[in-house]
Amino acid sequence: MLAALAGCSSSKGPSNQDDGVFTYLLDRKTQWVENKVDTMPPLPQASNLLPFNVSQNTPLTFAIDKTSLSVGDDGVVRYVVVATSPGGARNVNYEGIRCDTYEWRRYASIDDAGTGWDRDVAFDFRRIENGELNAYQAALYQDYFCTSKLPVGNAKQIVENIKYKRTQSSINVR
């Protein structure tokens, strides 16, 4: 028996040093890495656009292309948004919202000819602005995309919520 215990002992001898560092799972700092965005979604078709409300004070109308919406395993909800002026001018962007940090980024905008994506207008994540008249990213984050710093569900669930105007505040009231 002593021989078995002797085999288990460390050759270094006893130590007062704490060899095990205990960290709560939620306290661990992970290195976040964004999924690579290599391919652009198809340009939006009118039949795939789902309108959503941003503000009663803006003259613009906003819509998401339901076929472009995706939820990455990096926690980013990616989508094509179409902003239309009363005169019919349109801005079309491919963007992403990062739920855990309340940030958004642009991957591309429709080119001047309206026939493809222009990646030269892309920029990295920046803070979502709430007070802007046309703060559609804030509306998407708060109403449809994110809750408790996580995506509210998969792409299909988010599309259904936008389609049937089920905002996070209306769901949480029940």
Q: Tell me the pLDDT tens digit for each residue of 36-72.
A: 999 999 999 999 999 999 988 889 999 999 999 999 9
Alpha carbon of 147 to those of 36, 102, 127, 167, 168: distances in Å? Answer: 24, 11, 17, 11, 8
Give me the pLDDT at residue 140, please: 97
| Res 98: pLDDT | 98
Binned average pLDDT, 10 residues per bin, the chain of 174 residues: 47 52 60 94 97 91 98 97 96 97 97 95 95 87 95 96 86 52
pLDDT (0 to 100) of residue 8: 47
d(CA 143, CA 53): 9
Question: In angstroms, rounded to a whole number, what is the distance separating the alpha carbons of residues 62 and 92?
Answer: 10
* Percent with pLDDT over 90 in the chain: 71
CA 146, CA 100: separation in Å to the nearest integer? 9
pLDDT at residue 16, as a whole number = 54
Instruction: Give the pTM.
Output: 0.80
Query: 38-173: which CATH number, 2.60.40, 2.30.30, 2.40.128, 1.20.120?
Result: 2.40.128
Q: Note the pLDDT of residue 133.
A: 72
DSSP line for the chain: -HHHHHHHS-TT----S--PPP--GGG------PPP--SPPPPP-GGGEEEE---TT-S-EEEEETTT-EE-TTSEEEEEEEEE-TTS-EEEEEEEEETTTTEEEEEEEE-TTSSSEEGGG-EEEEEPPSS-TT-HHHHIIIIIIEETTEESS-HHHHHHHHHTT--HHHHHH-
Can you give the pLDDT at residue 86?
96
Angle at CA 152, nearest 5°, toward 168 and 62?
A: 60
